[in-house]
Amino acid sequence: MIHVWKRDNETDRRLTLLVGLVVVCAAIAVIASALVASAAPLTTPLNELSVLAMLIFMSAVGTLVNTPVRIRSTGHSISWNETALIISLALAPTSWVVLCTAAGVALASLQLPPIKLAFGVGKNILMAVGAGAALEAAGWTGLSGHPGQLIPPLAVAYLVAVLLDEILAIPVIALASGTPVSQHFRNNLDLRIAGYLVRFCVATASLLILEADPRLLLAVPPLVLSLHLAYSTRIRQRTEQQAWQRLAQTTDALNVVELNQVLTTAVTRAAELFSADEVEVELRDAARLVRGNSDGVSYDGPAGEAPTVVPGAVVPAPLEGHDRSIDVGVLRLRFRGAVQLNERERYTLHTFASALCTAVRNAQAYAELARVAQAHAHAAAHDALTGLANRRHLLDEGNEQLHQRHADGITALVLIDLNHFKEVNDTLGHAAGDQMLVRVAERLRAAARADDLVARLGGDEFAVLLRALPAPAVAAHRAETLLAALHEPFDIEGMQISVEASGGIAVAPAAGGIVELLRRADVAMYQAKRAGQRVATYAPARDTADLGRLTLGGELPRAVADQEFTVNFQPIVDLGSGEVIAAEALARWRHPTHGMIDPLRFLETVERSGLLPAFAEAILDQALIAAGTWRDAGFDVPVAVNVSPRSLLDARFPGSVLARLRAHDLPPDRLMLELTETLTLSQLDVVDQVLTRLRDAGVRLALDDFGTGYSSLSLLSRIPVHQLKIDRSFVTAMESSTEAAAIVRSTLDLGRSLELAVVAEGVEREAQRRALWELGCVAGQGHLFARPLAAGALLAALQRGTGGRPGHLAAALHDTGAVVRLPPGRRQGGRGRHQPA
């Protein structure tokens, strides 16, 4: 049977009462047995003292021969008490067995604490009384007789002894360890039953051998020892297996990224894994201590403020890496009694501490990454000077608000511009100007409602997004309140400075989103400035730009039907040789009244209309016709066509493009589709599908104006492009701006790393061409080589060539076959995939 002992302050009284009850009952049994024994002397063919010595010896050996196992701070053992008891009862009267059992168990347990000694002796005395009574009740007549008559009474007596052992010991174990009684009844039940059966067989066999020939008893001790060792080994194997399984489950539970969850799991699981009364984890860097047990965390806070703990044994384990170069903290197992871990337990503790160290470091690293990401996200969405939302945050929040179909109330925008703010900067300096902007931001934030979003758009321009307004007229009232907050003078460097501001109000339009709302508010704000008013509300009738778009929009169907849209082509040139290697198609509207209209004025209107597919097909047709004409004339020049983001939302678009290529008998790789960075391109799955189909068919893709959008790098991870085009603003500024030059250089390095062709736009001067070529840029386009030309004019220019070289629009930067000494760091990619088309 398993014997466990553990005392704590909370259960000491009940434990003492239970043990005391067992001891009192045992004392009564001993007194009664002594009286009976004195009245009925022991009758045996052997010497009376020899029999008593043998009975005492068997009880002592049955107690001493055990398998020790530790639970918490105390040990338990699997002993042979029942076997010795049954043999004793078969050889002597119950009264004598009770007295000998008391003496034998006491002698074997002298090293134990008094309370443990008392319980062990008392329990075995009651087992002897119960088993003896059962043996007599079963009709025991002694060893003489047929084995079939001997075994049933012995089995009944043995069963009573086993049940008494379980019933008396397990409640004490459960009470001392603070665990459910049912759990101890279930633990290793199969092994316990098997052990009982084996020990009963040994006891029965010993008695039968004794009856047949006492000399054969010499074979019993080796048999008992062998069975004991085998059973002990099996118990240890089972214990080891369960321990490793619990360790694996515990370390798996630590695989989380939230530090609080890691520490809670460590405390509760370690208490179960090591049967500790209390577990604490102390983190050195954070000076934090977490303490608890299997029921949960009892303390989590500064290590110096932790309450005192109950005295007892402490087993520390440093939380350090495998190479011991990292010291995260320490894990402590606390036991209320003395404890000493065995080798397996020490290794388990080391493994658990190492896993906990890794989990804590991972959780700390994740928390730091999350903090940095949150800080970066906040910085990307907020103005560094005032802490207000920036333009990007305003656009994101505005789009989300306007896209909510069931949003409560009306959305409006107030745009505020400080009048004569430049004079503050010029007179008092930029530091004073910054203080002024911070104070303005504070007043606007205080005057705005909790639901409103206050943003600084840049310079001295602020915006307030008004949400959930009950009526449009309320927006004007809210704008007046915001501007009134700026009326009182500001104290800047000891001076009282008054600020005048103008505001424009616009209510969310039916189409156009936050960009259109911002434009309308801007129109209204300038209307207020021109009229000398503090605030003005957007009026469509006074928006000349909007009226112009409406007029052009009404003429779009006629323009498409009459083929008023034409295409000019700007050549893309090899910067080193001057050879034309591609041409970009640029749409123009040849209006019968207004003349040539720039695409910036009509493309947005075309995209909003239902004529985009027809318009795109018309432009693509003209571009492919031109490419076919050039090819027939001996110039195989691919053509690049800009694509509207809205076209990429149409799943039919790839089929239309491929159909036009087949109609004009051009290979797909002779067409380059140029894409503009937009939020649409980076977020919608349908765009991925459209672009993948086009690329798989052989059509080449380019990312236009690279570097100007906020999603440049994220787009490259989603869109399978072949080419990057550096925006003309960077090329223009690269000679005077180190930042622009760095962006150009970085784009070229990125293109080489990803094996993408890179084309520079806006090459206006020979110095720019040479600088780009020396940096490793292969191709460029701009007025240095040619302005946009009609298809026939470009063909004539190709045929005419430069310096007697048809197909070239500029002289080569070096002679053919000459040895060129390139500047350090210059790594020009080969032709192949680096060609723009």
Annotated domain spans of the chain: 12-244, 254-372, 391-542, 568-813
Q: What is the pLDDT of residue 623?
A: 94
User: Residue 447 pLDDT > 90, yes or no?
Assistant: yes
User: Residue 239 pLDDT > 70, yes or no?
Assistant: no
Q: How confident is the model at residue 814 (pLDDT cuts 50, 70, 90)?
A: confident
Q: Report helix, strand or coil for 564.
A: coil
Which CATH number fits the domain 12-244, given the four candidates 3.30.2020.30, 1.20.1250.20, 1.10.260.40, 1.10.1760.20?
1.10.1760.20
Q: What is the pLDDT of residue 557?
A: 76
Residue ranges of E strands in 72-147: 74-79
Q: Report helix, strand or coil for 494.
A: coil
Indicate the angle between helix axes 81-91 and 94-108, nearest 10 degrees: 150
Q: How confident is the model at residue 44 (pLDDT cuts 50, 70, 90)?
A: low
Strand order in the sheet with 313-320: 296-302, 288-293, 278-283, 327-335, 313-320
DSSP 8-state code for residue 721:
-
Which range among 2-11, 81-90, 396-405, 730-739 shows the weakest confidence by mean pLDDT? Answer: 2-11
Average pLDDT of the segment spanning 189-208: 69
DSSP 8-state code for residue 831:
S
Q: Which CATH class is domain 568-813?
A: alpha beta
| Calpha distance 792→799 (Å, rounded) | 11
Which range among 231-235, 316-320, 495-499, 601-605 shows the weakest confidence by mean pLDDT? Answer: 231-235
Q: How confident is the model at residue 45 (pLDDT cuts 50, 70, 90)?
A: very low
Indicate the angle between helix axes 430-447 and 421-428, nearest 10 degrees: 140
Q: What is the pLDDT of residue 240?
A: 63
Average pLDDT of the segment spanning 507-526: 82
Q: How confident is the model at residue 786 (pLDDT cuts 50, 70, 90)?
A: very high
More confident: 203 or 394: 394
CATH architecture of 391-542: 2-Layer Sandwich (3.30)
Which range among 110-114, 166-170, 667-671, 827-831 shows the weakest confidence by mean pLDDT? Answer: 827-831
Q: Write down the CATH superfamily of domain 254-372.
A: GAF domain (3.30.450.40)
Cβ atoms of 493 and 432 within 8 Å: the answer is yes
CB atoms closer than 10 angstroms to residue 138: 14
Find how far residue 153's CA is from the centre of its chain: 67
Distances in Å between the Cα of 299 and the Cα atoms of 270, 296, 304, 308 are: 16, 9, 12, 11
Phi/psi at 423 (nearest 5 deg)? -65, -35
| Pairing mode of beta strands 288-293, 278-283 | antiparallel
Which range among 38-42, 100-104, 105-109, 665-669 shows the weakest confidence by mean pLDDT? Answer: 38-42
| Calpha distance 783→679 (Å, rounded) | 31
Cβ atoms of 326 and 361 within 8 Å: the answer is yes
- Name the percent of the chain lying above pLDDT 70: 76
| Calpha distance 823→566 (Å, rounded) | 43
More confident: 584 or 359: 584
Residue that the structure tokens 């990454």 belong to = 369
257, two tokens: 């990224």
Q: pTM score, two decimals?
A: 0.40
Cβ atoms of 138 and 38 within 8 Å: the answer is no
Q: How confident is the model at residue 235 (pLDDT cuts 50, 70, 90)?
A: low
| Calpha distance 309→13 (Å, rounded) | 20
